[in-house]
Structure 1
Amino acid sequence: MHASALNAVVTGSDSGIGRAVALALADDGFHLGLAYATERDRAEATAREVRARSVRAVVRKMDLAELPHSATAVDEFARELGGIGVLVSCPGSTAVECIQRGVRYMIAGGQGGRIVNITASASSLGGLTGLLAAELSRYSVTVNSVVVPAADPAFPSPGRDDREAATVASYLTAPAAMFVTGAQYTVEGRRVTIIPHSLTDPGPRRPGPRGSHRIRSYAGRWAPTRWTR
């Protein structure tokens, strides 16, 4: 695997789902670019937890109120990590400009890439997912969305474990998901509903199965045994 494929950028990594995703990908062996909007101290705390897993962590500010300037954080991540292979955008912390910049580095690396859009509703970034999946399949870049129905998914809420969404994100960035693109995974409690997207591009990417699955475990790397019918 090319070195840049093991470099991931996670937005909103200072708390909630973003932090959980960052730790899950660190467990998977990714070096991480950790983006935050305002809470640098929290992002640095996440970085310390990531480095404790023997991988690199770079922290940069990415405030949507400062676009397009804040999108340059993606360029800084690519320069310091040596490329970008994965971009996970967490709720309320990523703009299309940031995704576009990430895609450029994935294509330039020649090894494809993974984009995971985590959102509060299927009608926001979820609508963009299918379009990007069809467009980017020719470059071996997969694009999928994880929907977490909640009033404010960027922060912990009663009855929701952020590791649930992080587990799905971990799977979508793993070799096991290399042919999954354009799909929507809705995480509600410990149940995940999968809705595939039918690609109009007849390229090599194939959507995964539709169905409802239950998360069994959060420990260790992704494995199919994490799901039971």
Structure 2
Amino acid sequence: MSTPDSTQARAAIITGADSGIGRATAVRLAADGFDIGITYHTDKEGAEATAGEVREHGRRAAVAHMDLTRLPSAAEVIEELTTALGRVDVLVNNAGTGTATPYLDLDHATVQEVLDVDLVGPFLCGQRAARRMIAQGGGGRIVNVTSVHEHQPRVGAAPYCAAKGGLGVLTQVMALELAQHGITVNAVAPGEIATPMTGQEDRDVTRVERPGVPLRRPGDAREVAAVIAFLAGSESSYVTGASWAVDGGMLRMGPMAGSHLDNDSWRRA
């Protein structure tokens, strides 16, 4: 991945960068020399706080509202941010939503919302970014933030698991088709991370006990951002179509986890 004009800084767009993994990624990529495009859904104040941290690293920040339930028009925000920053070298599809509803109780509107935000939105945003990367030359990087539930199911999360599983396979198709343009596409699959989505924002993860996770704790958003930063950088130039679990070894438990359960609590969302 190269920049045709050496005076033009590289630019990365991170969706859902108002908090959690998105904010940590924006700040990390700014530290790595990227100008940053930030999208948010409801937390404008959070997005502006992220922009402030980006600017503290001496990089430019552009903020835009994005509602991925309003497709396909929402994906136009990628174009707006690319224009504001002058180019796009990296897209991180991080915005997401979910539900804790039993399969038999789900309604169509809820299923559609989760699929739009977690799967169709990244599909369309990826198209927009890839087209601009191809037009400007020099290749690019797309990172889709999935979940350990790209690989393993969870009770009460049927549309979320369907969307994340679909995004994982979509990542592989994108990698195959975009390779000829010098664009790599990878997925990052977080486990339990201390973010607003898990009700643990700003917690000291070293003080939280998780016996069922080999590393015995949740992850920190900055640990996920570090993997995304690798995939966004020049040292990952021969890495594409892969899914990178950042889960403290959770997925490796497999039957080990099931064989040690002593009650039926797992049956409830």
Give the TM bin, normalised by the shorter chain: 0.7 to 0.9
Structure 2 unpaired stretches of 5+? 97-116, 151-164, 201-207, 209-217, 252-269
Identity %: 43
Q: CA RMSD of the aligned region, Å?
A: 2.2
Indicate how the Cα distance of structure 1 residues 181 and 153 shifts in structure 2: closer, same or farther if over 3 A, else same: farther
2:38, 2:173 → 1: CA distance?
A: 26
Q: Is the 8 A contact 1:90 1:154 kept in 2?
A: no
Structure 1 unpaired stretches of 5+? 194-229
1:98, 1:90 → 2: CA distance?
A: 11
Counterpart in 2 of 1:172?
Answer: 231
Asked if residue 147 in structure 1 is aligned to residue 174 in structure 2, the reply is: no
* Counterpart amino acid of residue 115 in structure 1: I
Query: For this pair of structures, how many residues does the alignment match?
Result: 192
Instruction: Give, in angstroms, the shift of residue 5 of structure 1.
Output: 7.1
Normalized against structure 2, the TM-score is what?
0.67
Counterpart in 2 of 1:13?
Answer: 17
The structure with the larger Rg is 2
The structure with the greater share of residues assigned to helix is: 2
Asked if residue 110 in structure 1 is aligned to residue 114 in structure 2, the reply is: no
2:32, 2:242 → 1: CA distance?
A: 22
Partner residue of 1:29 out of 29, 33, 36:
33
1:168, 1:180 → 2: CA distance?
A: 12
The structure with the greater share of residues assigned to strand is: 1
Indicate how the Cα distance of structure 1 residues 55 and 146 shifts in structure 2: closer, same or farther if over 3 A, else same: same
* 1:1-229 mapped onto 2 (5 Å cutoff): 1-2=2-3, 6-92=10-96, 95=121, 96-120=123-147, 121-122=149-150, 123-150=165-192, 155=197, 157=200, 159-189=218-248
Normalized against structure 1, the TM-score is what?
0.78
Moved more, 60-69 or 50-59: 60-69
Q: Deviations over 1:23-43 (max 9, x none)?
A: 110010000100111111100
Instruction: Give, in angstroms, the shift of residue 66 of structure 1.
Output: 1.7
* Counterpart amino acid of residue 177 in structure 1: S
SS of 2:13's equivalent in the other structure is strand
Indicate how the Cα distance of structure 1 residues 133 and 192 shifts in structure 2: closer, same or farther if over 3 A, else same: farther
